[in-house]
Structure 1
Amino acid sequence: MRLFWLIAILPAAVGLAWLLLASAKRNARPKPTPFASAEAKARFLQYAAANNYRIDHLTADQALALMAGFYRDEKAANLNQFSSDMLFFSWGTDDGTEYGENFDYEIARQWMEEDSTDVWYLSLNLRFKSTATMAHLASGNHWCESLDELDSFLTYVRAADATQLAQMKTPAAVIVDSGVVR
């Protein structure tokens, strides 16, 4: 009788194990190859699409999660080990644009390549039409100098007044830019 149950159950168990293995293979992410600095923007946009982010419809929380995920998951090629790879959060008003006074909420990444003095950047900027509250908020910035600091950086940014204000508004524009800092 036991042999009968073993014979009856064994194919189902093997089938279930095969399904679980196939599912795990589908959901496993291959380790990405490091991106060339000149390809940062294209790689970032691919990462955003693969993770179901719509760049033109990001909230402040989504922008932060997207850039933090890209920082954690995607590595720049040929990094200068002494300069590291950093995240930068900045906010403030800007009245030097064709649209009048704006409030910029930016999460950027900066890095240096080995054997180069160039500082590369990738910027994700949510630009809002400034309100009186935004205009009175002092400009500022905060750095994350390594992956080890990412959790504390995220805690800081999420609690920042700039994030609270930006989260309540819809950006007038979302700007992704990359290149060499000039």
Structure 2
Amino acid sequence: MFNILDGSIDFMIDKATGKEMIDAARKSGIFRLVDEADHKEITDEGTGMSSWFVGRYKHIQWIHQNLEITSTKGTLRSQIAYELSFRNSKLKVMISLDKGSSHLDFKVECDWQEVGCLGKGVPQLQFYMPLHDSCAMYHYDVPFGRVTRQALDIDLPGNNYIYGEGKDGSAGVMLMSKVGYGFRGADNLPLPY
């Protein structure tokens, strides 16, 4: 399941159907550092803020290098933990899977020390999880309900989850977060920003 060299997920099988859920050809379950274009780079009327605007991706850096990985396998829970540093920031990740569960739990602590700079862009930490099959629709939870959207290569708001539904209506993958995020449902992947 896990690659002990870089902390990525090699495969994720739905035990009920035997179906592969992630794209084994791409690194999955990883964190990436994305440099977004800032608002001034996109329009002439730059606002100097970026809280409500996600710019186009200028550069994407895979940060899973030189990891210190530890793993334990118990009777009821298996887990893997790693730490990594990138630029001025640090990330601690603990991934656990309880016996008989279909829920893979990521506990993440980030000491974020990155700052955007007008003209250079805005840094973003991104969790990347490409899926095996393309999705017909993506379901996002929003205030007072849920909205269904087609695949769009743009970050869209969602309170706590995105669910990528298979084209044939089969089970998909849900990515959940305890805090509000936005998600990008496109190119067979749900990922938060």
Structure number with higher relative contact order (C-alpha < 8 Å, ≥ 6 residues apart): 1
Computing the radius of gyration over CA atoms, which structure comes out larger, 1 or 2? Answer: 1
| Fold similarity call, TM over 0.5 | no
The structure carrying a bigger helix percent of its residues is 1
Report the TM-score range of the alignment, normalised by the length of the smaller protein. under 0.3
